[in-house]
Structure 1
Amino acid sequence: MIDYLKNIIYYKDLLGNLTSNEMKLKYKNSILGILWSYIYPLMMIIIYNFAFKIILRMTIDNFALFVFIGLIPWNFVQASISQSTNSIINNQNLVKKIYFPRAIIPLSVINANFITMIISHIILFGAMLFFNVEFTLSLIMLPFLWIILYLVVAGISLVLSSVTVKYRDISHIVDVVFMAWFYLTPVIYSLSMVPEPFNKIIQLNPITNLIELFREVLLKGDFPRFLNLAGTFGYSFVLFIIGLYVFYRREKNFGEEL
């Protein structure tokens, strides 16, 4: 496992090239290109502010920002996992031609979406200024939350992308699961709004606590509790190691299954 991880690092240039290709494919034949990464979240902010403040007249302060902060990590989760699930199958010609750690393929998909998520935060900071949300020292925790979120997504994606090579129905199951997963994640509502015992069930969701932490840092301006942050990092790291192990064990069968 350690050697495999070192091998991925050794092929970092290939990972960078594949990530760049993913970004180019994402905006291929697009007039505005990567500018859509800025325009899309900006439009989301405008639409949510209109919908929640003017039409629905939500009384929660900065409810548009509240939802947007939840949607940024959620969009990263959904896009990365959905796209990486079929990534090995979609790149089977590359897999069959040359040797490299195959985990680089789903990781390149995740990296491309990770860059898009970072860009979305730039728009978010502008919106925070517009809505007079105070910037506090708690923002220094944001990169750490990004890392934790990346580990969670990478762990899940590595498992699914490796298993889908043999069981092609997995990709269809993932699409169905995401329909339910969205409503079981506190994206458009607060965890405090969920009554017992459903609250405890939703807390089992690996994304739930992360979204709450993003709001705590960005909207409330508070530092996360150390034990909460350490526990969240712990399960994300374990999830990543499990994903890497499953992928490593499954990789040797790709040639036959493709």
Structure 2
Amino acid sequence: MRALFVILTFTRQDLIEKYSGSILGSLWSLLMPLVNILIFTIIFSKIMGARLSVSGLELDEYNYSLYLVSALLAWNCFAACVTRTTTIYQEKAGIISKVNIGLRTLPAYILLSETIIYVISMVFFTAFALIVGHSFGWTVLALPVLFLIQQIIAYSLGLIAATFSVFIRDIRELVAIVFHVWFWMTPIVYVVNILPDGLSSLMSFNPAIGFIEAYRDIILMNKLPGLEFMLTASLVALSLFVFAQYINKHLQSDIRDFI
């Protein structure tokens, strides 16, 4: 119970500190997702006038915004969880020595904080989608399951990176570069069929594509992701989680000495 209290306290503090010193304070947690969605809608739907097509969906006008934001919100959450967790031990070094909380438990507040922002963003996105005439099916009930698998993977990757970044400080910069390249290698703002054949074939090696397509299947196509993908993703999440726990547990004493 004490660990849960500490995590909730850190989560609340994290959300407040993001906008500390501003007049509106934590209200920005509500306004920023709304502003982002409006920007995506105006720039990508109106100004750019995107005219792309993907199987089962004609991407014109507001449909492109739905296509973009449905994947972008999930990606932003995933990337933020991993990159922020990577440096958590350096940033919380002073607190770790004073507060009785496990090193494997500490990253949970980042996941919770980013999840709250994602949920708020999804509320605005859902409202926007309904306004422009998009209808949601019962398949949205699978969204929390998909998101949970994603967050387990994010936590595991972040914990592994955080563990090694204590000893190798370059890990932080490496993770940032990897996610920057990874974003543009993932069809979030574009569709795969606009790429040259050679490059599009490389996409099959990108593990993020399965998640992006699963989100769009649920949100845009009103259909469930493939069972094979969900089972594979769950197995990968479980494997990464066990590995991250093992590595961190066996290096705990060294981590505390180094920080």
What TM-score comes out, normalization by structure 1 length? 0.89
Q: CA RMSD in A?
A: 2.0
Cα distance in 2 between the residues matched to 1:98 and 1:130: 47
Pairwise CA distance, 1:196:
4.3
Closer, same or farther: CA 250–43 of 1 in aligned 2, 3 Å? same
Instruction: Establish whether residue 79 from structure 1 lines up as the match of residue 50 from structure 2.
Output: no
The corresponding residue for 1:161 is 162
Cα distance in 2 between the residues matched to 1:35 and 1:211: 29
The corresponding residue for 1:46 is 38
Cα distance in 1 between the residues matched to 2:180 and 2:165: 19
The corresponding residue for 2:184 is 183
Cα distance in 2 between the residues matched to 1:207 and 1:17: 32
Is 64-73 or 27-36 further displaced after alignment? 27-36
Pairwise CA distance, 1:10:
7.2
CA contact (8 A) 2:15 2:29 kept: no
Cα distance in 2 between the residues matched to 1:152 and 1:178: 14
Cα distance in 1 between the residues matched to 2:26 and 2:204: 35
CA contact (8 A) 1:38 1:123 kept: no
CA contact (8 A) 1:45 1:65 kept: no
Code of the residue aligned with 2:116 in structure 1: it is: I
The corresponding residue for 1:4 is none
Pairwise CA distance, 1:193:
4.4
Pairwise CA distance, 1:15:
2.0
1:105 counterpart SS class: coil
The corresponding residue for 2:250 is 249
The corresponding residue for 1:27 is 19
The corresponding residue for 1:143 is 144
CA contact (8 A) 1:106 1:161 kept: no
CA contact (8 A) 1:158 1:246 kept: no
Code of the residue aligned with 2:127 in structure 1: it is: G
Code of the residue aligned with 1:169 in structure 2: it is: D
Closer, same or farther: CA 239–190 of 1 in aligned 2, 3 Å? farther
Cα distance in 2 between the residues matched to 1:116 and 1:41: 8
Pairwise CA distance, 1:246:
1.8
Pairwise CA distance, 1:92:
1.0
The corresponding residue for 1:201 is 202
CA contact (8 A) 2:217 2:224 kept: yes
Cα distance in 1 between the residues matched to 2:243 and 2:174: 21
Cα distance in 2 between the residues matched to 1:232 and 1:163: 24
Pairwise CA distance, 1:192:
4.8
Closer, same or farther: CA 194–244 of 1 in aligned 2, 3 Å? farther
Cα distance in 2 between the residues matched to 1:115 and 1:200: 36
Instruction: Report Cα offsets for 1:216-255 as digits up to 9, x if no partner.
Output: 1011111222222222222122222222222222222112
CA contact (8 A) 1:80 1:113 kept: yes
CA contact (8 A) 2:142 2:224 kept: yes
The corresponding residue for 1:6 is none
The corresponding residue for 2:229 is 228
Closer, same or farther: CA 67–227 of 1 in aligned 2, 3 Å? same
Code of the residue aligned with 2:13 in structure 1: it is: N
Code of the residue aligned with 2:245 in structure 1: it is: L
Unaligned segments of structure 2, at least 5 residues: 52-58
Code of the residue aligned with 1:35 in structure 2: it is: L
Code of the residue aligned with 2:18 in structure 1: it is: K
The corresponding residue for 2:89 is 88
Cα distance in 2 between the residues matched to 1:13 and 1:39: 27
Percent of aligned positions with the same letter in both sequences?
24
Cα distance in 1 between the residues matched to 2:192 and 2:3: 41
